[in-house]
Amino acid sequence: MKKDLSVIGGLFLVVVGLIIFGNFFGTGGLLKSPSSNQATAAAKISRDSTIVSVGKLSVNAKIASNVKDKKAGLSKYDSLPLDQGMLFVFDKSDVYTFWMKDMKFAIDIIWIDQNKKVVDIVKNVPPEPGKNDSQLKQYKPSTASQYVLEVNAGLSDFNNVQVGDTVIFEL
């Protein structure tokens, strides 16, 4: 009898947990369709972020399209959830150089051409605290790109992202 009550109590706690945290587990949209409020929120989010997929890697990337956002990059964050990143969008294809000014965590930098193909990757780029601008290492691709994706260090290797891979995203 006590064992039955324990099982019922445990199931009750699981159900309560699912009710409380259900929105968290269902954010992928697989468990439920969005309500009109959720659809409106998604529309607002899509203006400044997009889902970027390459190989097995899929991240919700904040879009850096203006000078201010491009200059700050991810430097205002102390860390980054594994499913997030930043997509830098440029008006034209060129060789865009990046540095780790004011960064607090390591990243992978993925350059993407106008055809949405990976053209270069720099992995595990460490932060460089305490260095002035002239001392910071600069990272640039071997060929021109129009987009640059920054993600947590190690995600490129973990998801087997390679030069030549097709990248999927919508702006």
pLDDT tens-digit map of 105-117: 999 999 999 999 9
| Residues in a beta bridge with 51 | 60
Say if residue 23 is in the same domain as residue 46: no
Q: Where does the pLDDT of residue 150 fall: very low under 50, low under 70, confident under 90, or very high at 90 and above? A: very high
Whole-angstrom CA distances from 67 to 50, 117, 139 are 19, 24, 19
DSSP state of 140: -
Instruction: Note the residue count of the chain.
Output: 171
- Domain boundaries, position 23: 1-32
Do 107 and 125 touch, CB atoms closer than 8 A? Answer: yes
Q: Are residues 25 and 95 in the same domain?
A: no
Distances (CA, A) of 26 to 52, 92, 164: 19, 38, 33
Same-domain pairing of 6 and 49: no
Sole residue written with tokens 């051409």: 113
Shared-domain flag, residues 106 and 27: no
pLDDT tens string 56-78: 999 999 999 888 888 889 998 99
Residues 16 and 68 in one domain: no
Res. 1 pLDDT band, cuts 50 70 90: low
Same domain assignment for residues 81 and 9: no
- pLDDT, one tens digit per residue, over 120-130 is 999 999 999 98
> Quick one: pLDDT at residue 3?
53
pLDDT of 68 reads: 87
CATH number at residue 132: 2.60.120.1140
96 and 21 share one domain = no
pLDDT tens digits, residue range 74-100?
998 999 999 999 999 999 999 999 999
User: Looking at residues 127-137, what average pLDDT do you find?
Assistant: 92
**Domains in the chain, number:** 2
pLDDT (0 to 100) of residue 71: 86
**CA–CA separation, 46 vs 112, rounded Å?**
20
Q: What is the dihedral of CA 28, 74, 96, 87, to 10 degrees?
A: 20
> DSSP secondary-structure letter at 134?
G
Residues 76 and 100 in one domain: yes
92 and 45 inside one domain: yes
Question: Same domain, yes or no, for 49 and 130?
Answer: yes
* Residue 19 pLDDT exceeds 50: no
pLDDT over 50 at 12, yes or no? no
Are 101 and 75 in contact by the 8 Å Cβ rule? The answer is yes
Q: Is the pTM of this model over 0.85?
A: no
| 21 and 51 part of one domain | no
What pLDDT score does 17 carry?
41
> Residue 108 in contact with residue 59, Cβ under 8 Å?
no
| Same domain (yes/no): 9, 45 | no
* Residue that has been written with the tokens 């993407």 in this structure: 112
Token digits of residue 128 = 């460089």
